[in-house]
Amino acid sequence: MDEFMQAAIDEARLGRKEGGIPIGSVLVRNGQIVAKGHNKRVQELNPIKHGEMDCLNNAGRQRTYRDTVIYSTLMPCFMCAGTIVQFKIPKVIVGESRTFDGAREFMESHGVEVVDLDLDECVQMMEEFIEAEPTLWNEDIMEL
């Protein structure tokens, strides 16, 4: 596994350890991590603090995102995908989309390259979380 997806997984595990949802994200430019983040909806009582949103927030102002790649342990939802499209991030590398299929077609229809690694480690992390916290998961994806 590459170091950037591992960093995203580490972020996801940190989020779960904090009592939150185990989804992590990393923004990369020229082989260097620009920012990391994880889902903080529970920790900060903030409905838009998904992993990708936290990562981009932690990146601060950037002159451009056109030369970046964003990694996420889970396929981005429409909110995060909309931000990826808006910022013109050209590539998303995803840990898995089996537990949540997200907005892949939306991103691709806007020219974003989406690579789904379908990593068992990411699937297992989400399956364990969903089994342990089904109400919290359904709240996160607005399926209540």
User: What is the rounded distance in angstroms from the CA atom of residue 59 to the CA atom of residue 54?
Assistant: 9
What is this structure's pTM? 0.95
What is the pLDDT at residue 22? 97
Q: State pLDDT tens for residues 86-144.
A: 999 999 999 999 999 999 999 999 999 999 999 999 999 999 999 999 998 888 777 76
Say which of 3, 11, 18, 52 is annotated catalytic.
Answer: 52
Q: Look at the alpha carbons of 26, 82, 88, 57 in this order and tell me if their dihedral is positive or negative.
A: negative
Other CB atoms within 10 Å distance of the CB of residue 44: 13
Specify the pLDDT at position 143.
73
Catalytic annotation present for 52: yes
Instruction: Kindly list the domain boundaries of the chain, sorted by start residue.
Output: 3-141
Encode pLDDT of 46-94 as tens digits: 999 999 999 999 999 999 999 999 999 999 999 999 999 999 999 999 9
- Asked: is 3-141 a CATH 1.10.510.10 domain? The reply is no
d(CA 57, CA 108): 23
- Do residues 95 and 1 lie in contact, with contact meaning Cβ atoms separated by under 8 Å? no
Enumerate residues 6+ apart whose C-beta is below 8 A from 121.
1, 9, 95
